[in-house]
Amino acid sequence: MKKVLITGATGFIGGHLVKANLAKGYSVRALVLPGDPGEAALKYKGVDTVTGDIRNCAAVEKAASGVDVIFHCAAVVTDWAPKKLFREVTIGGTENICKAAVAARVSRLVDMSTNDVFGLDESQVMDETFPLKPWREPYSDSKIEAEKICWRYHQEHGLPVTMVYPCWVFGEGDQTFVPLLADAILKRELIFWRKGTLVWPTYIENLVDLLMLIAEDDRAVGNGYLVHDGESTTLEEFCAGIAESLGVPPITTYIPYPVAYAAAAVLEFIWKVTGKKTRPLLTTYTVKNLGSRLKFSIAKAERKLGWRPKISYKEGFVRTMKWLKTLDVATLKQK
> Which tens digit of pLDDT belongs to each residue from 226-280?
999 999 999 999 999 999 999 999 999 999 999 999 999 999 999 988 888 888 8
pLDDT at 204: 97
pLDDT digits (tens, 9 = 90+) for 147-158: 999 999 999 999
Domain 3-177+201-232+296-315: state its class.
alpha beta
Does 333 have pLDDT greater than 80? no
In the chain, the percentage of residues whose pLDDT exceeds 70 is 98
Percent of the chain clearing pLDDT 90 (strictly above)? 85
**Beta-sheet pairing, 201-203 with 168-170:** parallel
* Average confidence (pLDDT) over 87-115: 96
Cα atoms in the Cβ-side hemisphere of radius 13 Å centred on 139 = 17
pTM of the predicted protein model: 0.94
280-330 pLDDT tens trace: 888 999 999 999 999 999 999 999 999 999 999 999 999 999 999 998 766
pLDDT greater than 90 at residue 331: no
